[in-house]
Structure 1
Amino acid sequence: MTNLPKHARVVIIGGGVIGCSVAYHLAQLGWKDVVLLERKQLTSGTTWHAAGLIAQLRATANMTKLAKYSQELYGNLENETGVATGFKRVGSITVALTEERREELSRSAGMARAFGVEIEEISPSEIKDRYAHLNIDGVTGGVYLPKDGQGDPSNIALSLAKGARMKGAVVAERTKVTRINKAGRRVQSVDWETADAHGTMTCDMIVNCAGMWGHEVGRMAGVNVPLHACEHFYIVTEAIAGLTQLPVLRVPDECAYYKEDAGKILLGAFEPNAKPWAMDGIPADFEFDQLPEDFDHFEPILEAAVARMPMLAEAGIHTFFNGPESFTPDDAYHLGLAPEMDNVWVAAGFNSIGIQSAGGAGMALAQWMDAGEKPFDLGDVDIGRMQPFQGNKTYLFERSKETLGLLYADHFPFRQKATARGVRRTPFHQHLLEQGAVMGELAGWERANWFADEGQTPEYAYSWKRQNFFGNVGAELNAIRTNVGMYDMSSFGKIRVEGRDATAFLNHIGGGQHDVPEGKIIYTQFLNSRAGIEADVTVTRLSETAYLVVTPAATRLADQTWMQRHMGDFNVVITDVTAGEGVLAIMGPNSRKLLQAVSPNDFGNDVNPFGTAQEIEIGMGLARAHRVTYVGELGWEVYVSTDMAGHVFEVLHTAGQNMGLKLCGMHMMDAARMEKGFRHFGHDITAEDHVLETGLGFAVKTDKADFIGRDAVMSKRDAGLERRLMQFKLRDPEPLLYHNEPILRDGKVVSHLSSGGYGHHLGAALGMGYVPCAGESVADVLSSAYEIDVMGVRVQAEAQLKPFYDPASERVKA
């Protein structure tokens, strides 16, 4: 197509199912001048060879909402466009071959009930009734989702493309984007070429929907899109006599899935050690291509499948297929506005679930682009979660070997990635390893999650029950509650905000009052226009013109980007200084005693009350002590420049030996914050959770100058709360909670837990979750009977609005 417009409101790069979905949904919203450019033919990258499995249940409520939307959309597209999508609800069965997998499926069934997804837990014999061809030897149980389906991937994409054209969008095939022209933080135009023409198209924005080319296109646009292609294998049998429609079948313990289609069986695999592809780049002429067969690689999957599905032994293989699909470092796709640019959007890296995700992802991104704000929480997939280093090709190559297989691996709580580790290390890394630290990884940071006892193997032994570190975490929490503990918080983001307008800027972007004396620490949230929480931070005033914003490790980039996008005309400079300082948290009733043993400074309440910071001497070095806590105890976070960090650790650790100082990890911190009712960003508080309904209204100061979200705060105060974030403690000390377990109020499911954990000090599992309360008083909400559904068993729970531990914060302020 050579008669392309000179200008577009949006240029969508890539004509797979997600690019077609974005074009379709923008056109549905009334956008004009929507142009989709595809280098070859629509669907010719990955979409055309996708298996077309369309499931409803995902790991979170909003991802499930998007998957359910995809199903509804595909079911109606044929009537709208006349292009058959092949969508049909055939149901799906997932079977377990171990007790651990059975528990995972049972917990997922509870999650489904909370999310409104129809699901049934079924026994081995019931599985056999629904799938007679299956050998149920070793099967321990399963789940059946009657509304899951399958479809024709290419036709779904072509139907979306036609729907977009019907609303005025331009879809141009064999039109390659050769250059993206930028000025500052904005794309100005794209250069394109066809076989016989070339040109330049100016645009207001672009969307990178380039699939496995997404990393390359991202580099052209100046943005980081971490993904890597892997080989993905499946076989299709010859026609099997008498084979009728069957549910989709998944046997994750054998890394296999099965789909009946036109009297044949498609057998696909997500093997634990995948084969990354195209380290040196994808061939320029790639179009509807297959990769070389590797039967040796696939053979172990096939052998297990023949035993599991004996009829395969008699069926001939019609097709042995190997095709590339892109995978991201954390097995979640990339969606949203890229942090590095202000008009570059991304929808790519769908980790083999592109067909079931594309409808909802396209809808969500289109609404986000149209309104300028996320329609609901998309933190699971927001491209802003990716760290700059994760675009490193060697890192992506190594990590992609694992992420493909993790789709069907046991999804144990606290499971850590095994590949591409050790990239980011805190200044205390080696010190902690020498003391028995067992490391976890978050945003590339190696963090001590727990400490092994002498003689204990310092590694995870995963389970859905009490894991091998359960007692270790209990001992660490006991030290924090009764004596003193120390843990590494260096991975938390540190963003310096300075300039003559620093105070005014922070008062504009944050709900708290930042016009405070030097050394004062403010706990605050960055709100969006709906008063949803975009960031949950502490802000320390360092001087008249300088502040330090401390963020969760995983959201540092997103939080900094939010600030940069709202700078306006404020005269401020925003700088990431995370790597410049190590941070040791010294917490517990004897934390003051330990600090006084190594520093001449005064840590008493008169000089250093809660919520203040002071410069201190420590050992032979210098540091800054912030009196704050995320564990609900008297304590300090000690910030020290990286050059002196090792020295300060040794001074504190040595002095602590006479006091019973215990090194602690992140699992302890999470258990402690659950007891204290401290919210966790991304679980308990998100962009769609109103700050008043989270119980954090105390941190919002509406009597100051106007700030983002103020009108929504005032409106909610007038209208009243529709739901409240509550805390729950199980009356039975045995069951464990993680998150997403259904909450029952007076016998009816009303919500689900946003987070869960075990309160070792309190001796029971704890959870948080939102409970609807429109028109109700606090007394009404608290007078109800509450239960938590744990694997189908209703467990009675105490419910409170105040923390179960130290509700008046007397220990924090001691």
Structure 2
Amino acid sequence: MNIPEKARVVIIGGGIIGCSVAYHLAKLGWQDVVLLERKQLTSGTTWHAAGLIGQLRSSSNMTKLAKYSRDLYAALEEETGVATGLRTCGSISVALTEDRREELFRGAAMARAFGVAAEEITAQEVKERYSHLNIDDVVAGVFIRDDGQGDPANIALALAKGARMRGAQVLERVRVAGIRTKGGRATGVDWETDAEQGFIAADHVVNCAGMWGHEVGRMAGVNVPLQACEHFYIVTEPIKGLEQLPVLRVPDECAYYKEDAGKFLLGAFEPNAKPWGMGGIPADFEFDQLPEDFDHFQPILEKAINRMPILAEAGIHTFFNGPESFTPDDAYHLGLAPELANYWVAAGFNSIGIQSAGGAGMALAQWMQDGEKPFDLGDVDISRMQPFQGNKTYLYERSKETLGLLYADHFPYRQKATARGVRRSPFHQHLLDQGAVMGEAAGWERANWFANEGQEREYRYSWKRQNWFENAAVEHRAVRENVGMYDMSSFGKIRVEGRDAEAFLNHVCGNDMSVPVGKIVYTQFLNSRGGIEADVTVTRLSETAYLVVTPSATRLADQVWLQRHMGDFNVVITDVTAGEGVLAVMGPNARALMQKVSPNDFSNAVNPFGTMQQIEIGMGLARAHRVSYVGELGWEIYVSADMAAHVFEVLFDAGQDMGLKLCGMHMMDSCRIEKGFRHFGHDITCEDHVLEAGLGFAVKTGKPAFIGRDAVLKKKENGLDARLLQFRLADPEPLLYHNEPVLRDGEIVGYLSSGAYGHTLGSAIGLGYVPCKGESAADVLASSYEIDIAGVRVKAEASLRPMYDPKSERVKL
């Protein structure tokens, strides 16, 4: 075997995703592409995958990648001569409950906005397309015409052949024994075969190791949180007269069905999964099956026989149990690892590897080629994972739930039930004592809403108004009309300090960091296209130190962005998130509360909006930052963790005779959307231009060169292609979440990036981009707008200015 000593890239793993990455890099013209597979291609998970190829995913870009996969697989057979078994048979998802009908119909509306042909159908129309189905309790369904199925192993082999045809080396029975690193980079991989061993020096290393991905990550000190779980399906004996049928999903019964060569395949995503391989995957694992567990599968099969009576007469030819890897949030891992500058990950595909692999391989290859993401990949970017999520006990507990969540009701605000309580703020117990109902973000337990005395302290999920709707409304009104307090400790806090701190942040940030000590600056980190990589506030603590405050979920990604742009700047970057608790005191009476607990002056003259001061509070010390994400007068109180409980008690006790209300994250979301404040990851991403997002006020092109400056100037010169609008439904009853189609003069032109209920404005509010090339703001607003909610068009008022307090007078009271 001719194994090279040097390669431009070494890809670890010969499943469908590794083959896709090799294919796409070779297609981009990369030479010296080497793929190493420990056993045979496809021998881990790919070979036994069901091969369902759906298009619709939970966001537009994930849908774009799934559509790309289908189109790629359709062309591969002609390109390589390897049959991919691709059949465009369509798919049907059926609802057995009204909640599921709402979910499916909202999904169908979203599909239309994403360019996927989806059709809502009645139970009888389902029967016409699927005659074998018992529709006694079917409420409705959705048919997606261009979905299909394929042969997973052959698709992977076609990709491998396509890579070889362009010069890539695909080597089987070569095991990676280690990964060498130096100076924050991977330098290459140690390999071994049954007969020899060696080392390949590499410019890039890509971890496509599937269920071995966690272990292969640890070889290089990289966190790749995923866990193998058992996945079950059965294949019947041949059924006489069975012809090609659409793929069928019955998520309310945790089941999917596909016709395969005159047989039925029935697969399950059961609510309580079985993690596998906790002690390590056997060294000789190759095309292996796991032991049968018919008792575990029996409840699924019993429902399936009722749903598809023909199964009762068909014998079971195969009972299959094989491992697949699952991540903590059911989104796969893609991208550049935070720990190393040239170590890439594409792993953990949560049973959607076949439909995802083509697009994921294309996106990763383009990212590697250009040095930046081709479009927003925040849903799957490996940098979203927190370090603790690689903990094996955590992964074991969480993976029991994640497999089943694929077919669970995808209710808005649904919280994970397993592996909770890992990260707690200093105020956690105080909040629980006052009725807090916790949610989770990046592992942090956060109060989402507060239950009343005697009210159950848990979510009752629905697509309509959930059981906390009025609780959040009361909290909302407290902040708008009086004073509320909520915990912001989970937000990321990154200290940037050193001789060059000011110059460095001016290089990375769009806004001007040459400000006095105590000034707070709202800004973005921009990429070379003017897209938004981070949305932060930066407080100048001293001549040589700044505090960057980020969303909880993006703290690691934002810190890594800073570290990767340090260059020769003399700075030190430190995560200090856990060192301080943060309480937000917000509302028109916030100043009165602060004056009760502190001798400091909180007047506009001493502490105007956008400034920070050191204060005494109770018997402790803190910093008071006068900023607001809810659009009201208020302060964020930063207090060291040792004094945090004391400060909470001082503020809480002082507020009792003022009607102080403890509030949660649902309140914050409803207040911020009324004010038109953007939410990073939804309203603003790396592919949304800062000017089109309406954030030009936070960019100062007059200062020295900074990342993205040229793109901002170019957009100013050429004009906007889209504008972010705020929408308010004319009907106060429907609810908005995100991805609902936006119709302009009757035509779909986009979709909502986020949505929530505006309790002060009295209706659901959404934000979304509308194309406007060559148009003025007045032209855009002159149109009539509707929002499609589960197939029903609802009239909406549109605005470029915030509908609540458009002049931002209230934060400056």
Aligned to 1:745: 744
Q: CA deviation at 1:292?
A: 0.2
2:651 aligned with 1:648: no
Q: Secondary structure at 2:79's aligned position in 1? A: helix
2:534 aligned with 1:513: no
Aligned to 1:338: 337
Of residues 681-690 and 791-800 in structure 1, the stretch that sits farther from structure 2 once superposed is: 791-800
Task: Measure, in 2, the Cα distance between the counterparts of 1:399 and 1:701.
Answer: 44
Q: 1:198-257: per-residue Cα shift (whole Å, max 9, x none)?
A: 111100010000000000000001100000000000000000011000100000000000
Q: 1:578-631: per-residue Cα shift (whole Å, max 9, x none)?
A: 000000000000000000000000000000000000000000000000000000
Task: Measure, in 1, the Cα distance between the counterparts of 2:430 and 2:533.
Answer: 35
Q: Superposition pairs for residues 81-480 of structure 1, below 5 Å? A: 81-480=80-479
Q: 1:482-539: per-residue Cα shift (whole Å, max 9, x none)?
A: 0000000000000000000000000000001001000000000000000100000000
Q: CA deviation at 1:266?
A: 0.3
2:714 aligned with 1:712: no
Q: CA deviation at 1:137?
A: 1.3
Aligned to 2:665: 666
Q: CA deviation at 1:781?
A: 0.5
Aligned to 1:560: 559
Share of identical aligned residues, percent?
79
Q: 1:59-97: per-residue Cα shift (whole Å, max 9, x none)?
A: 000000000000000000000000000001000000000
Task: Measure, in 2, the Cα distance between the counterparts of 1:181 and 1:70.
Answer: 33
Task: Measure, in 1, the Cα distance between the counterparts of 2:692 and 2:345.
Answer: 31
Task: Measure, in 1, the Cα distance between the counterparts of 2:107 and 2:44.
Answer: 32
Task: Measure, in 2, the Cα distance between the counterparts of 1:206 and 1:791.
Answer: 44
Aligned to 1:778: 777
Q: Superposition pairs for residues 576-615 of structure 1, below 5 Å? A: 576-615=575-614
Q: CA deviation at 1:4?
A: 1.1
Q: CA deviation at 1:303?
A: 0.3
Aligned to 1:60: 59
Q: CA deviation at 1:167?
A: 0.2
**Amino acid of the residue matched to residue 223 of structure 1?**
V
Q: CA deviation at 1:5?
A: 1.2
Q: 1:403-437: per-residue Cα shift (whole Å, max 9, x none)?
A: 00000000000000000000000000000000000
Task: Measure, in 2, the Cα distance between the counterparts of 1:361 and 1:392.
Answer: 26
**Amino acid of the residue matched to residue 752 of structure 2?**
L
Q: CA deviation at 1:195?
A: 1.4
Aligned to 1:7: 6
**Amino acid of the residue matched to residue 44 of structure 1?**
S
Task: Measure, in 2, the Cα distance between the counterparts of 1:747 and 1:319.
Answer: 51
Aligned to 1:489: 488
Q: CA deviation at 1:702?
A: 0.5
Q: Secondary structure at 2:810's aligned position in 1? A: coil
Q: CA deviation at 1:795?
A: 0.7
2:532 aligned with 1:530: no
Task: Measure, in 1, the Cα distance between the counterparts of 2:200 and 2:143.
Answer: 50
Task: Measure, in 2, the Cα distance between the counterparts of 1:774 and 1:287.
Answer: 55
Task: Measure, in 1, the Cα distance between the counterparts of 2:187 and 2:70.
Answer: 36
Task: Measure, in 1, the Cα distance between the counterparts of 2:308 and 2:28.
Answer: 47
Aligned to 1:729: 728
Q: Superposition pairs for residues 623-642 of structure 1, below 5 Å? A: 623-642=622-641
Task: Measure, in 2, the Cα distance between the counterparts of 1:154 and 1:78.
Answer: 13
2:798 aligned with 1:799: yes
Task: Measure, in 1, the Cα distance between the counterparts of 2:193 and 2:281.
Answer: 19
Q: CA deviation at 1:6?
A: 1.1
Q: 1:674-711: per-residue Cα shift (whole Å, max 9, x none)?
A: 00000000000000000000000000000001000000
Q: 1:376-407: per-residue Cα shift (whole Å, max 9, x none)?
A: 00000000000000000000000000000000
Q: CA deviation at 1:771?
A: 0.3
Aligned to 2:763: 764
Q: Secondary structure at 2:4's aligned position in 1? A: coil
2:754 aligned with 1:755: yes
Q: Secondary structure at 2:805's aligned position in 1? A: coil
Coordinate RMSD, CA, aligned: 0.4
2:45 aligned with 1:31: no
**Amino acid of the residue matched to residue 755 of structure 2?**
G
Task: Measure, in 2, the Cα distance between the counterparts of 1:790 and 1:235.
Answer: 37
Q: CA deviation at 1:657?
A: 0.3
Q: Secondary structure at 1:805's aligned position in 2? A: coil
Task: Measure, in 1, the Cα distance between the counterparts of 2:441 and 2:481.
Answer: 29
**Amino acid of the residue matched to residue 136 of structure 1?**
I
Q: 1:520-560: per-residue Cα shift (whole Å, max 9, x none)?
A: 00000000000100000000000000000000000000000
Task: Measure, in 2, the Cα distance between the counterparts of 1:28 and 1:61.
Answer: 25
Task: Measure, in 1, the Cα distance between the counterparts of 2:375 and 2:186.
Answer: 26
Q: Secondary structure at 2:271's aligned position in 1? A: coil
Q: Secondary structure at 1:90's aligned position in 2? A: coil
Q: Secondary structure at 1:257's aligned position in 2? A: strand
**Amino acid of the residue matched to residue 501 of structure 2?**
A
**Amino acid of the residue matched to residue 164 of structure 2?**
R
Q: 1:108-128: per-residue Cα shift (whole Å, max 9, x none)?
A: 011001001001000000000
**Amino acid of the residue matched to residue 768 of structure 1?**
L
Q: CA deviation at 1:369?
A: 0.2
Q: 1:320-363: per-residue Cα shift (whole Å, max 9, x none)?
A: 00000000000000000000000100000000000000000000
Aligned to 1:50: 49
Q: CA deviation at 1:7?
A: 0.4
TM-score by length of 2: 1.00
Q: Secondary structure at 2:82's aligned position in 1? A: coil
Task: Measure, in 2, the Cα distance between the counterparts of 1:182 and 1:742.
Answer: 47
Q: Secondary structure at 1:77's aligned position in 2? A: helix
Task: Measure, in 1, the Cα distance between the counterparts of 2:275 and 2:339.
Answer: 27
Q: Secondary structure at 1:88's aligned position in 2? A: coil
Task: Measure, in 1, the Cα distance between the counterparts of 2:746 and 2:197.
Answer: 66
**Amino acid of the residue matched to residue 350 of structure 2?**
N
Task: Measure, in 2, the Cα distance between the counterparts of 1:776 and 1:93.
Answer: 41
Q: CA deviation at 1:196?
A: 1.1
Q: CA deviation at 1:184?
A: 2.2
Task: Measure, in 1, the Cα distance between the counterparts of 2:190 and 2:429.
Answer: 50
**Amino acid of the residue matched to residue 407 of structure 1?**
L
Q: Secondary structure at 2:727's aligned position in 1? A: strand
Question: After TM superposition, what 4+ stretches of structure 1 lie above 2 angstroms from structure 2?
Answer: none
* Number of residue equivalences: 813
Q: CA deviation at 1:761?
A: 1.0
Task: Measure, in 2, the Cα distance between the counterparts of 1:235 and 1:303.
Answer: 13
